[in-house]
């Protein structure tokens, strides 16, 4: 199980968005190893390790989340825009929560231009495709 766990980590950390299926393969392998056990699990581990090892690599997601966490810990990031704040109770709606939110699925191509970041974070980009 330790090897299977390491393969899952590698699929996410090292392969990432270059081949998102690597995580699916690694996770399926980990479940299969758990169900099958050794010695047959060695074949499953081999297949998963080879798949992950031979996949293209991208650590863009890893870098993005680390930078975002660093910003949250070390920067004044500002307030979440009111239009994307959840309003589960009437009082919150009265205060302006969720007012003006544009639901992307109601627009052509399921996309609508709308601000999601706080004003202080405008222009910040975390995920950068390689």
Average pLDDT rounded to a whole number, residues 46-60:
97
Peptide bond into 39 cis (omega under 30): yes
Does the pLDDT at position 53 exceed 90? yes
- Name the pLDDT band for 20 (thresholds 50, 70, 90): very high
Average pLDDT rounded to a whole number, residues 94-112:
94
CA end-to-end span of the chain, whole Å? 32
CB 51 within 8 A of CB 57: no
Average pLDDT rounded to a whole number, residues 5-24:
97
**Nearby residues of 125 by Cβ (< 8 Å), 6 or more positions away:** none
CB 18 within 8 A of CB 55: yes
- Name the pLDDT band for 88 (thresholds 50, 70, 90): very high
Q: How far is CA 79 from CA 5, 66, 117, in A?
A: 37, 20, 9
Does the pLDDT at position 60 exceed 90? yes
Average pLDDT rounded to a whole number, residues 65-79:
94
What whole-number percentage of the chain has pLDDT above 90? 98
- pTM, full prediction: 0.76
Average pLDDT rounded to a whole number, residues 47-55:
98
* Predicted pLDDT at 129: 82
Q: How far is CA 37 from CA 2, 42, 49, 52, 119, in A?
A: 12, 8, 16, 21, 53
């Amino acid at each position: 199980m330790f090897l299977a766990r390491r393969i899952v980590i590698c699929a996410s950390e090292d392969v990432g968005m270059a081949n998102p299926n690597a995580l699916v393969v690694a996770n399926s392998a980990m479940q299969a190893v758990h169900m099958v056990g050794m010695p047959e699990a060695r074949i499953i581990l081999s297949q998963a390790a080879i798949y992950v090892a031979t996949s293209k690599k991208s650590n863009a997601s890893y870098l993005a989340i680390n930078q975002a966490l660093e910003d949250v810990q070390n920067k004044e990031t500002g307030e979440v825009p009111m239009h994307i704040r959840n309003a589960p109770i009437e009082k919150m709606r009265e205060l302006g929560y969720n007012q003006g939110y544009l639901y992307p699925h109601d627009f052509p191509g399921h996309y609508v231009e709308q601000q999601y970041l706080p004003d202080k974070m405008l222009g910040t980009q975390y995920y950068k495709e390689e």
